[in-house]
Amino acid sequence: MKILDILSPTQVFSNVECNSKKAAMELLAKNIASSNNGIDQIDVIDCLIARERLGSTGLGNGIAIPHGRLKYCEKSVAAFIQLKNGIDYGAIDSIPVDLIFALIVPEESTDEHLQILAILAKMLSETETINKLRNSKTEKEIFSILTN
């Protein structure tokens, strides 16, 4: 599994103005649902929020990976937003989050879900990658960083 398999250039957004975790979740859900993957925006929001209730997906260092498994999802799909300013996300280190990678996978795809999360966690723990993502000015640039 590669990030390129689940993320398209149209699902990457840079320099987004967002003032809350809820607004970020809604934006991510809208973009994931628009991928024509057989899923509804409300279902995506509910899925992401249900996962957040178990514990924040704010990893620390300004990064969050909201994720979940969804019954009517046909294939794994993702969206990424680079926020103009960090938001309170309830991260483990209390640092405002400005890089958010959301992931929705089919309900039965437990192994794939864990594999993708491991890839993301590794990639988003690399200081050089994080700095590149934060300093990127375009969606194309961000997409390239995430998929190479």
Q: Mind listing the pLDDT tens digit for each residue in 3-54?
A: 999 999 999 999 999 999 999 999 999 999 987 667 889 999 999 999 999 9
Question: Domain locations in the chain?
Answer: 3-147
CATH 3.40.930.10 fits 3-147, yes or no: yes
Tens-digit pLDDT profile for residues 43-99: 999 999 999 999 999 999 999 999 998 888 888 899 999 999 999 999 999 999 999
Q: Give residue 116's pLDDT band: very low, low, confident or very high (50, 70, 90).
A: confident
The predicted structure's pLDDT at residue 37: 66
Beta strand pairing call for 63-64 and 58-60: antiparallel
Nearest to 3 by CA among 12, 70, 45: 12
Q: Which of 27, 31, 64, 67 is catalytic?
A: 67
H or E segment at 79? strand 77-87
| 1 in Cβ contact with 116 (< 8 Å) | yes
Q: Is the pLDDT of residue 132 over 70?
A: yes
Q: Cα angle vertex 2, ends 119, 27, to 5°?
A: 80
| 16 in Cβ contact with 27 (< 8 Å) | yes
pTM confidence score: 0.93
Q: Is the pLDDT of residue 107 over 90?
A: no
Is 113 an annotated catalytic residue? no
